[in-house]
Amino acid sequence: MLSFASEIKRQLASRTSSATRRTNRHELVGLMDAAGEWDGSGVTFTTRNAAVARSVVRLLRSEFGLHSRLSPAGTDRFGRARYAVHAEGNGAIQAKEELRAARSGLRGAAEGTAYLRGAFQGAGSVSRPGRGYHLEIFHRDEAFIRRVATLSRAPLGITCRRERWVAYARSADSVTTFLSQLGLHDAVLEYEARAVLGEAKANANRLTNFDAANAGRTAVAAARQQEVLETLNPDNLPPALREMLELRLEHSDASLADLARLGNLSKSAVNHRLRRLIELSGKLTSR
């Protein structure tokens, strides 16, 4: 089963098959800056996502006429498969110079967004909806990370962690804004739906905890009242108070409303008589 981040990358990679797209080259720049390694003979792009690898093959062919080689590249430290795309020769060296020029020419919003799509496919991760909000793009090159943060509509923090630079977002608004900029509207809707569900659950838990706390306070108050009232002698009380004392002692867990119904009284009358009983008990114990 694909992780959420892998599925996001697969969706982005599938869009590069559009022949009318004018920003493919800028997306390829982002991909190569994120996960491409250039040497004297050409370039090797590595990824754990097969769809992204196939997209790089298509882009190299459509943008530069390069016939690249896609092959397995072993596994990472977690045992996940890795793929490599390799292109070499004079055409690949020329492509490097043209991609460098395209990076320098990032001007419009569409070009910047295309670069971010490539950068995220090559070096990004995002948490699954319902598991918090956490999006990262990481790389050893600080200039790449700062370029990503500049092109993003969402504010991204920048830090250095274990010798790698990281651009990150950890709020609902920042993560959904970034995904929306990439055109991942279904993912944004899923995040928002999870957020609504999470808020509903939180509200339900708060209400449950509030009710439980109220019930606990009521039980404690009733127990204390019971202890106080048991010190009174019914024979020494007026009829109305004696009746209320017996009613309360017999129904120790009843609410004021229940006592009022059982005694055919109003809640205010019940409350008044209970206060009088507690006052009398206090006078007795203070002697």
pLDDT of residue 105: 80
pLDDT of residue 287: 46
- Which domains does the chain possess? 1-105 (3.10.28.10), 230-286 (1.10.10)
Q: How far apart, in Å, are the Cα atoms of 212 and each of 180, 202, 226?
A: 41, 15, 21
Write phi, then psi, for 221 (nearest 5 degrees).
Answer: -65, -40
Q: How far apart, in Å, are the Cα atoms of 86 and each of 46, 94, 103, 121, 259?
A: 9, 15, 21, 17, 84
pLDDT of residue 80: 85
pLDDT digits (tens, 9 = 90+) for 138-191: 999 999 999 999 999 999 999 999 899 999 999 988 999 999 999 988 888 887
What six digits make up the tokens of 105?
């020419």
CA atoms within 13 A on the CB side of 230: 10
Residues of the chain scoring pLDDT < 50: 19-20, 200, 286-287
SS3 (DSSP) at 85: strand
Longest dimension (CA), the chain: 112
pLDDT of residue 20: 46
Return d(Cα 180, Cα 187) in angstroms, integer: 8
Q: Is the model's pTM score more than 0.85? A: no
pLDDT of residue 284: 53
